[in-house]
Amino acid sequence: MYTRAFRYERADDLPAACAALRRHGEGARVLAGGQSLLPMINVGLAAPEVLVDISRVAEAREITASDGYLSIGALVTHRELIASEVARAAQPLLGAAAAHIGSARIRNRGTLGGSLAHSDPAAELPVVMTALGASYELTDGRAEREVRAEEFAITVFTTELQPDELLVAARVPVLGPGWGWSFREVSRRRGDFALASAAALVRTAGGILVEARLALGGVADRAVRLAAVEAALTGATRDEIAARVGPIEGISPVTDTGASAEYRRHLARVLAVQALEEACARSEGTVSGERGP
């Protein structure tokens, strides 16, 4: 079995963690929930020399809403995000997407920051953050900076984070009344990685789509925002959505053991339409009990 020893250091706070990362250099990895990193270590796909554990620091655990923004600490677990009334009131899309992550065991430990930093192209939270136009607060222990979600992910498993930087929080703009949301995903089994996913937000007025946001996951090396599709939908009724969404451009799905690139491309369009239609219905209030914020 792969049971390689590594050194372990528990950080007292985020600045100490950043300092530890600087001290240890390339062989160090951050341990938060560990639900992506530890499986990789267990099967021999990762072999860090040092793990810097931030899972017990007191910071970055809050979910607050103020001044039109929802702020979610990087160490908030998926379970906490789903259970948060503040988050649900501000933006139900987040909890709805997080509910697709793994199993309850995974959601009890996995964190928002961990998921965003790991940057799996099929992960749910990067997709919704991209659709929502969120931005992330980063720290290196000495200074903070803000990066927009769309620019944060660079490619597979690669982000803007410098070797000594950590995510502190995600800032999500709270959309006003009239917006509906939807998250749709196809996976082989419940809880599996998505073969493809779509996050949509739609604002309607008098049955006409005024504004749309659409992001897809699992069909490129990171979540992609489909600005062209969004533009083409302005002025559409719900029934016209399917016709207005043409072939999806700007995606580059891959073939793996889960699905072929062609099937993912097919799903991209199917899920985009489904998500847009559902978000439209929520915006119009025709999905019972789930009126948008």
Partner 1 sequence: MSPETVTITVNGSRRTATAGGHLSLLRWLREQAGVTDPKYGCGEGVCGACAVLVDGLPVASCIVLAAQVDGCEVTTAAGLRRPDGSPGPLQRAFHRSHAVQCGFCTPGMLVCATALLAEGRPLDRQEIREALHGNICRCTGYGPIVTAIEAAQHELAAGAEGGAEPS
Partner 2 sequence: MTSQEVRRSKADELSVVRQPLPRRDQAAKIAGTTRYAGDVVHPGMLRAGLVRSPVPSARIVRRDAGEAVKVPGVVAVLFGEDVPHNEVWVDVPGQTIEVAPLKANMEILATDRVRFQGEPVALVIAETEEALTEASERVEVDYAEEPGVFDPELALADGAPPVHPQGNLLARWDIDAGDVGAAFESADLVVEGTYATQPVDHAYLEPEAGVGWLDDEGVLNLRVSTQVVQHYRDVARILGIPEARVRVIAPYVGGGFGGKEDMTVEPYLALAVWRTGREVRMEWSRPESLQARAKRHPMRMRYRTAARSDGTIIGQDIEITADSGAYAYLSALVLLYAAVHACGPYRTPNVRLRARCAYTNNPPTSAFRGFGGMQVVLGYESQIDEVARRLGLPPGEVRKRNSLVKGDVLPVGQVIETEVLLPQTIDAVLERAGPPPSGSGPRRAAGRAIASNLQSYGRLVWLNDAAAAWVGFEPDGSVRVRCGVQDLGGGQASSLAQIAGELLAVPADQIVVHFGDSALNPVAGTTTATRQLLMSGNAVHDATAALRDQVLGAVAADRGEPVESLRFSPGAVTGPGLRLPVPEALALCRRRNVPTEALGTFFGPKGVPVTRNLRSGRVFPDFTFGTHLCDVEVDLDTGQVRVLRYIAAHDVGRAINPLSVEGQISGAVVQGLGMALLEEVVLDEGINLTAGFFQYLVPTASDVPDIEVIVLESGEGMGPFGARGIGEPPIGPPLAAVANAIRDAVGTRPTILPITPERVLACLPSTRS
Which residues lie near partner 2 (CB under 8 A)?
A: 1-5, 39, 43-44, 186, 188-193, 242, 256-260, 262-263, 266-267, 270, 274
- Residue 253 is encoded by which pair of tokens? 């799905």
User: How large is the greatest C-alpha to C-alpha distance in the chain, in angstroms?
Assistant: 62
Measured from the CB atom, the residue of 171 and 264 that comes closer to partner 2 is 264
Residue 243 interaction partner, one of partner 2, partner 1, none, beta carbon < 5-8 Å per kind: none
Binding marks (x or -) toward partner 1, 158..177, rule CB under 8 A? --------------------
Pick one of 10, 61, 88, 266: the residue that binds partner 1 (CB under 8 A): 10
> Which is nearest to 7 in space by CA: 39, 33, 41?
41
Q: How far is CA 219 from CA 19, 49, 136, 271, 274, in A?
A: 36, 33, 23, 11, 16
- The rounded distance, in Å, linking the Cα atoms of 186 and 277 is 16
Q: Taking the complex as a whole, how short is the minimal distance between the CB of residue 268 and partner 2, in angstroms?
A: 12
CA distance readout (Å), 281 to 98, 121, 207, 274, 276? 21, 28, 9, 11, 9
Least distance in Å: CB of 270 to partner 2? 5
Closer residue to partner 1, CB minimum distance, 17 or 214: 17
The candidate with the shortest Cα–Cα distance to 87, out of 64, 109, 59, is: 64
Q: Return the one option of partner 1, partner 2, none that residue 232 interacts with (CB less than 5 to 8 A, by type).
A: none
The binder of 186, among partner 1, partner 2, none, by C-beta within 5 to 8 A per type, is partner 2
Q: Which two tokens stand for residue 157?
A: 């498993």
Tell me: does residue 187 bind partner 1 (CB under 8 A): no
Question: In angstroms, what CA-CA distances link 177 with 59, 85, 205?
Answer: 32, 18, 11
Binding-site member from 23, 27, 64, 103 for partner 1 (CB under 8 A): 103
45 vs 156 by CB, closer to partner 1: 45
Given partner 2, partner 1, none, residue 270, with its beta carbon under 5 to 8 Å by kind, binds partner 2
d(CA 114, CA 17): 14
Rounded distance between C-alpha atoms, residue 41 and residue 52, angstroms: 14
- Given 58, 177, 190, 247, the residue binding partner 1 (CB under 8 A): 190
Burial class (CB in 10 A: 0-12, 13-18, 19+), 243: exposed
Which uninterrupted H or E stretch holds 228?
helix 227-232
Choose between 22 and 109: whose C-beta lies nearer to partner 1: 109
- Total residues contacting partner 1 by CB under 8 A comes to 33
> Of 91 and 274, which has the nearer Cβ to partner 2?
274
Residues contributing to the site for partner 1 (CB under 8 A)? 1-10, 12, 31, 34-35, 38-39, 42-43, 51, 53, 55-56, 79, 102-106, 108-109, 189-191
